Structure 1
Amino acid sequence: MSRYRIRLVIILATFSLVGITLTQMFWVRKAFDLREKQFNNSMNIALKGVADEINRCNNLPPSVQNPVEQLSTNYYTVRVNNFIDPYQLEEFLKNEFKNREIAKDFEYGIYDCSNEKMVYGDYVNLESKNPNQKQATRFPKLDNDSYYFGVYFPTKDTGLLAQMGIWTFSSLVMLIVIVFFAYTLFVILKQRRLSVIQKEFVNNMTHEFKTPISTIAISAEVLKNPSIIEDPERLQNYASIIREESVRLKNQVERVLQMATVDKEKVNLKIEKVNLHDIISQTIQSLKLSVENSAGNISCDLQARHTCIEADKLHVTNILYNLLDNALKYCKVVPKIKIVTEDITRGIIIKIVDNGIGISMENQKNIFKRFFRVSTGNIHDVKGFGLGLNYVREIVMAHKGEINVYSSIGQGSTFSIFLPHENHTKKR
């Protein structure tokens, strides 16, 4: 799928989800407002009924005007301006709420009309096992003849939301759809990125294999000419070219095969006692030709004394080879590489210091990812698959070690590897 189509799909899908979400929010709000309006109407009728009951107990006619006043979304006052018996008030409130199917806990207070002070208040839990068992001594004796009362619902909003079952369910479904869309979008973008990376990998691999094969083929054609026997120096030159290109091709094949074995679930380490300094010497020797061709130099400062570790000799050799090979390739001046070892608790540190082009902080976060290569624009003077450093990290981690990089543009790089003396990795 092209980049344009992916962007179009993302824009349309996002627009659709935003539209559906806004519509959902609108109707949820509408439904909540309707529930709240119904609750307020029921509350006005119930509290007016309580006021009429109080007037009836005081031998007064029902109120002509509505005595109920809503001061906030969940607080109501009732101006009866008469004597109020606390016990009767609580019973009237419970009965009226029950008749109106208002099953919410509430608080009520009785206020003196003369000074606006609360003279009594209580919290009523409708889920109490014995809601009707009241002690007469619990209610105070009020002597004044002019009171009003207020009712407060602390759980009104949560109660109304709890009644909106279908809307809550639909909102949850909408949330799941949004999460699923975000995940799908992430997968699509990741797959597209992997597709681009793999395409670049195939192109690089084709070029890396094609070049030495073509060189070998041309050299072989030259060697087929009988007259070349008369020119031993030329014969030796073309034989050397075939050998060098064969080694180059072999190294490229080995790098691809290395990554085929580096799967976290499939790494098979052959743990044995090895001398790290011996491995370093052997690796430097295998790179002797590359170092001479670049007129470079590899020096050693091997300070570690406890150089024997439990590791896979082949993989550790490949780790060092990859890092040294990169130090040679990514250098625009005469390569000067230094290998340092030092003892630390439980293991040994190997540092490979170079004077190469360096790595930016942004790229340092990605260099250990598979297929990642530092972008050099349209210049492709250094070929590779973007597999080496990923292989290095996976093998170091398989040995229960750590790898870090310290670098800046134009200042070279330092790769620091910790390998433990003892490795308890089991053969798989």
Structure 2
Amino acid sequence: MKRKYLQVMVVLAAFSLFALLTIQLYWFNLAFNEQERQFNEKVNIALRAVAHGLLLASNDSITAIGPITQRATNDFYVPSNSPASYHLVDSLVRAQLAIYQLKTDYQLTFYQAKNNLVLLGNYWANTTPKRGAVEKNIACIGRDQAKTPINFSVSFPSKEAYLAGGMGIWLFTLFTFLLVLTVFAYMAIRMLKEKKLSEMKTDFMNSMTHELKTPLTNLSIASEVLHKKHDQLDEQKRIRYASIVFEETQRLQVQVEHVLQIAALERGQVSLKMQQVNINELISSIAQTAQVKIGQRNGSINLQLKAENAIIKADTHHISNVLYNLLDNADKYSPLPPEITLSTYNTTNGLVIAVADKGMGMNKATQKMIFEKFFRASTGDVQQGGGFGLGLSYVEAIVKAHQGWIDVKSKPNEGSKFEVFFQCA
């Protein structure tokens, strides 16, 4: 399946799941509002029954009960206008809430009916109090209270949590759906990554075929000439064809070694031979060797070795390969004659090796991918240079094996700068 079709299918599936989630949230909101409406109605009826009980306790069977005011989503004000004790009101409130199965915490407050000043009040948890606990917990209960008509309010601090707790099946289905959506998102991301990896592996196989085919063809031609026409060749031509065989054999060996190194790193089978290495001296030596190849393009390597403490504990062979890879990368992605700067400097607890070029640079998307196996930067549809897309993956693996880090800074058409950090010995 082509990648674009897979992406379309994933997008459509994601859209469908998000649409279902939206519907689920819509119905959850409707159910919650219905729960709240029923709660408010039950509280209203229960508190009217409390007001009715207070009037009956005052031998008043005529006075009409005023409307109960909902001052907030969780606060209900009852204009009872009846003289009553806190114990009586509280017992009636408890009884009525129990009748309507409203098992939640509440706060009961008394007001003077005349000027609506607060007289006393208390918060009650949804538990059965011990005998005598009421008198101890009510604010100001021990003080004399004037026998004047009172109004009262009942508020429910935990109303939202109480309503949500009564929607167990809805919450269960909502969280289950969110779990399914999370799993889908994870699988979709993994699927796209696997698809991309598969494409890069296919590209790797094509590149490897091309990279191996060229030296093999040259080897075949040169060896055939040496085998069939060695008597007809003068000494200079024999040396030339022998050099071709040697050079192409070395080229093949390097390519195969590169692949084997990556495979060994993945299996954790690379054993580092750690020793003290003077990075400044190693870079000077490598620069001289690399200059031969870069000089063929009229390029140059500028050394700025400013690290005063340049000794690290490292595997010389692999660190050399890291530097050669970074230099080769700078050369490969410099359309004009390469201008490469190799520098070192010390930090608080180590040193940094920087390889900077003035080549084609990279955008942010490419920078995120360059350390992935088989990835090769490209411009348009044209791949830049040869290789298998394993060089920077190998570099990162070796640097991490040395407990270091590697970073890249780059802008299109402004070059790239790779920085590698190692701890000093």
Into which bin does the TM-score normalised by the smaller protein fall?
A: 0.7 to 0.9
1:176 to 176, 179, 182: 179
Once residues 370 and 270 of structure 2 are traced to their aligned partners in structure 1, the CA distance between those partners, rounded to angstroms, is: 21
Q: Which contiguous aligned blocks of 4+ residues in structure 1 show a shift greater than 6 angstroms?
A: none
Once residues 306 and 134 of structure 1 are traced to their aligned partners in structure 2, the CA distance between those partners, rounded to angstroms, is: 77
* TM-score, scaled relative to structure 2: 0.87
Once residues 116 and 345 of structure 1 are traced to their aligned partners in structure 2, the CA distance between those partners, rounded to angstroms, is: 70
Once residues 378 and 336 of structure 1 are traced to their aligned partners in structure 2, the CA distance between those partners, rounded to angstroms, is: 26
1:346-425 aligned at under 5 Å gives the runs 347-380=350-383, 382-422=385-425
1:302-323 Cα shifts (integer Å, max 9, x gaps):
5556555321122112112212
2:251 to 233, 239, 248: 248
One-letter code of the match for 1:290? K
Q: Is the 8 A contact 1:109 1:120 kept in 2?
A: yes
Once residues 63 and 11 of structure 1 are traced to their aligned partners in structure 2, the CA distance between those partners, rounded to angstroms, is: 66
SS where residue 403 of structure 2 aligns? Answer: coil
Once residues 379 and 231 of structure 2 are traced to their aligned partners in structure 1, the CA distance between those partners, rounded to angstroms, is: 42
Once residues 399 and 106 of structure 2 are traced to their aligned partners in structure 1, the CA distance between those partners, rounded to angstroms, is: 65
Q: Which residue of 1 aligns with 2:88?
A: 88
Return closer, same or farther for 1:83/1:366 CA change in 2, 3 Å cut-off.
Answer: same
Q: Is the 8 A contact 2:111 2:118 kept in 1?
A: yes
SS where residue 70 of structure 2 aligns? Answer: strand
Return closer, same or farther for 1:42/1:335 CA change in 2, 3 Å cut-off.
Answer: closer
Q: Which residue of 1 aligns with 2:51?
A: 51
Once residues 26 and 327 of structure 1 are traced to their aligned partners in structure 2, the CA distance between those partners, rounded to angstroms, is: 56
SS where residue 229 of structure 1 aligns? Answer: coil
Q: Which residue of 1 aligns with 2:20?
A: 20
Once residues 339 and 157 of structure 1 are traced to their aligned partners in structure 2, the CA distance between those partners, rounded to angstroms, is: 64
Shift of 1:129: 4.4
1:280-302 Cα shifts (integer Å, max 9, x gaps):
45545654653454344445455
Is structure 2 residue 196 aligned with structure 1 residue 165? Answer: no
Q: Which residue of 2 aligns with 1:425?
A: none
Return closer, same or farther for 1:53/1:358 CA change in 2, 3 Å cut-off.
Answer: closer
1:17-416 aligned at under 5 Å gives the runs 17-61=17-61, 67-127=67-127, 129-130=129-130, 133-135=133-135, 138=141, 140-143=143-146, 145-226=148-229, 229-263=232-266, 265-276=268-279, 279-280=282-283, 283-284=286-287, 287=290, 290-291=293-294, 293-298=296-301, 300=303, 302=305, 307-342=310-345, 347-380=350-383, 382-416=385-419
Count of aligned pairs: 422
Could you tell me which runs of 5 or more consecutive residues in structure 1 were left unpaired when the two chains were aligned: 423-428
One-letter code of the match for 2:88? Q
Return closer, same or farther for 1:86/1:379 CA change in 2, 3 Å cut-off.
Answer: closer
Return closer, same or farther for 1:103/1:252 CA change in 2, 3 Å cut-off.
Answer: same
One-letter code of the match for 1:172? F
Once residues 85 and 346 of structure 2 are traced to their aligned partners in structure 1, the CA distance between those partners, rounded to angstroms, is: 87
Could you tell me which runs of 5 or more consecutive residues in structure 2 were left unpaired when the two chains were aligned: none
One-letter code of the match for 1:357? M
Q: Is the 8 A contact 1:56 1:62 kept in 2?
A: no
SS where residue 312 of structure 2 aligns? Answer: strand
Return closer, same or farther for 1:121/1:345 CA change in 2, 3 Å cut-off.
Answer: closer
SS where residue 255 of structure 2 aligns? Answer: helix
1:32-63 Cα shifts (integer Å, max 9, x gaps):
23332332332233212211221121111165
One-letter code of the match for 1:148? N
Q: Is the 8 A contact 1:204 1:385 kept in 2?
A: yes
Q: Is the 8 A contact 2:230 2:238 kept in 1?
A: no
Q: CA RMSD in A?
A: 3.0
Once residues 197 and 77 of structure 2 are traced to their aligned partners in structure 1, the CA distance between those partners, rounded to angstroms, is: 67
Once residues 258 and 93 of structure 1 are traced to their aligned partners in structure 2, the CA distance between those partners, rounded to angstroms, is: 79
SS where residue 199 of structure 2 aligns? Answer: helix
Q: Which residue of 2 aligns with 1:426?
A: none
Return closer, same or farther for 1:99/1:319 CA change in 2, 3 Å cut-off.
Answer: same
Q: Is the 8 A contact 2:66 2:80 kept in 1?
A: no
Q: Is the 8 A contact 1:67 1:80 kept in 2?
A: no
